[in-house]
Structure 1
């Protein structure tokens, strides 16, 4: 990281290192019943019927999940949607969104059936029910998250889940959704986080002193291979890069039950810093579910950009920032949590 960016960037990020777990409450979001979610879907359909009966092109609206102006930073919970955000409109009367309008109604009907029957499906399952209709998995993923935002409930409460990619290892045991005991200390490469992570319970540890969140799977596996967990009583978690929802929920559940420090080990580059920010503050696209996803008590322990200079790393083991990296730095510096901490 060249000197032009490293000094300013690290100075403004310094406040992000600090975190006092005693300051934060446990998740405050109350469960919403299945009947209430079904009712919200029915309200959407009734409104569409009303629009058609009044000879108005039907449309649906939800809070814009891509606009940083729609969120503010609450130090207790992370990134939260404004009470009066701007909205995205998907209309049957607009050529640019008519296809998305139809797909939204199709997925709403599929979700309604899942909730009625009590069944659970992955986003992949939904795609393969109508692969020619949806054209790509990305389309399904985006619209399902839009529906989650529109109904103001976490996606998993719609009985739609995603395949987990995260791993957990160390001094931790829990009962999985099937009631089976899982002892993470017995695994040689980490236990895959359950898909129905909300349904794990009886979370226990014998002597773990902290949770270590590791950015990369390669680092996670190397620490296991070098017997790090044998000498350091802790729980280690990785999402293998950008954190998925299930990994973030898992960390949050462990902290809620054990109340031990959460430490983040990330690379000192824009990508690693972005990942740390997603863990700690939440993501823009999931700001409607911040209470169960963000980890505002997480402490970043490095590696810091300043360590490159402090440790006098040779130039041949570092890479200069390219224009994309610099753009990412500038983008991070404009976010609301940076202004709060500097």
Structure 2
């Protein structure tokens, strides 16, 4: 996979700390080396096994890498360490969890299998119930293992569990498989595979002029049912909410395969919608060392503050505490462009949010007209 973030030609900051995409044999070798180093310390005259150094996944260790010769910017982590410690009661179990997941990954690689995070959770729940009680613990520990071994979760045999779908003017052909015409897949679209290797090898063809990222599956279905991609020559893609890895990776692949196509996001006018857009655009701290790998140059098409005139006052909903929490997190980060930050301020000051469905007040076929008008206004034609 091409990796612009490593190139000094394209990026000025070379403190990027990343997770490599490697083969299963090298991944097994990294696990073996990690275990041998651990045993070496354990067998030393004065064992010092209390701390396990990991790349910190806190906002304080993150930076935004802004391209010099590319419009893509991304979140990355620097070489600042945190620890999982046996000396602190609240961190001791996290220390053990890392080795439990490392052991499980080694077994998966030896058996040449692929598992989802959900499958891994149930396996660990049955084998180590005293350490794993919820999916979140598994997800966080997987990121700890990625930070320890410096290789992607897919390299460790962990497959993305995809929720996403794609439709519109796109032909997909996997190795020795029939070509899929995404425009003929109905209103639910073509389900995006969680197999990253398959997505990497996918051959894609299009005559579209735009790629449109749609926050909600219901809106995606409405646009697909109305075949908006014929009125506006486009590819529509959705993660059905917060973006999963597979959907982000397919969008990244499309951005590389069709570099001239603008990527436009249609999200709710609220902090969560903006957070979803920023995840597609910059990556996420939650992805740790893999965050930068899926960043794309996504533009905010709508809803925007100037669209509120199209929506009845009765359709505006008060902001929830969760909205305010997301807004606070976004404002404290470095990723927001000035116009996005201003828009977020307006949301918070107004105390209200607007959802895309509110546009149905003007008719169920209005969405296509709205998108076409916004494209012209933004000069993407």
Give TM-score scaled by structure 1 length. Answer: 0.83
What is the SS of the residue equivalent to 1:211? strand
Partners of 1:212 and 1:235 within 8 A in 2: yes
What is the SS of the residue equivalent to 1:307? helix
Partner of 2:53: 61
Long gaps (5+) in structure 1: 1-22
Partner of 2:251: 251
Long gaps (5+) in structure 2: 1-8, 12-17, 68-72, 342-381
The more displaced of 137-146 and 218-227 is 137-146
Summarize deviations over 1:71-97 as a string: whole Å, max 9, x none.
111123400112x32x23123343222
The separation in 2 between residues aligned to 1:196 and 1:285, in whole angstroms, is: 20
The separation in 2 between residues aligned to 1:206 and 1:51, in whole angstroms, is: 55
Matched, 1:276 2:277: yes
Partner of 2:304: 304
> Alignment partner for residue 150 of structure 1, among 148, 151, 165?
148
> Alignment partner for residue 112 of structure 1, among 106, 127, 140?
106
Partner of 1:184: 182
Summarize deviations over 1:1-54 as a string: whole Å, max 9, x none.
xxxxxxxxxxxxxxxxxxxxxx979xx987434333223222221222123223
Going from structure 1 to structure 2, the CA distance change for 1:30 and 1:70 (only over 3 Å counts) comes to closer
What is the SS of the residue equivalent to 1:301? strand
> Alignment partner for residue 160 of structure 2, among 151, 162, 171?
162
Partners of 2:154 and 2:196 within 8 A in 1: no
Displacement of 1:108: 0.3
Partners of 1:176 and 1:194 within 8 A in 2: no
Displacement of 1:263: 0.9
Give TM-score scaled by structure 2 length. Answer: 0.75
Displacement of 1:131: 1.9
Partners of 2:175 and 2:202 within 8 A in 1: no
Instruction: Select the structure with the greater relative contact order (CA < 8 A; seq sep ≥ 6).
Output: 1
What is the SS of the residue equivalent to 1:207? coil
Partners of 2:212 and 2:235 within 8 A in 1: yes
The separation in 1 between residues aligned to 2:166 and 2:115, in whole angstroms, is: 23
Displacement of 1:180: 4.0
Going from structure 1 to structure 2, the CA distance change for 1:331 and 1:131 (only over 3 Å counts) comes to closer
Partner of 2:115: 121
Matched, 1:196 2:195: yes
Going from structure 1 to structure 2, the CA distance change for 1:131 and 1:152 (only over 3 Å counts) comes to same
Partner of 2:370: none
Aligned pairs (5 A) from 1:193-342: 193-200=192-199, 201-259=201-259, 260-295=261-296, 297-308=297-308, 311=309, 313-338=311-336
Aligned residues: 312
Going from structure 1 to structure 2, the CA distance change for 1:178 and 1:156 (only over 3 Å counts) comes to farther
Partner of 1:97: 91
Partners of 1:268 and 1:305 within 8 A in 2: yes
Q: Considering only aligned residues, what root-mean-square deviation do their CA atoms show, in Å?
A: 2.5
Going from structure 1 to structure 2, the CA distance change for 1:34 and 1:312 (only over 3 Å counts) comes to closer
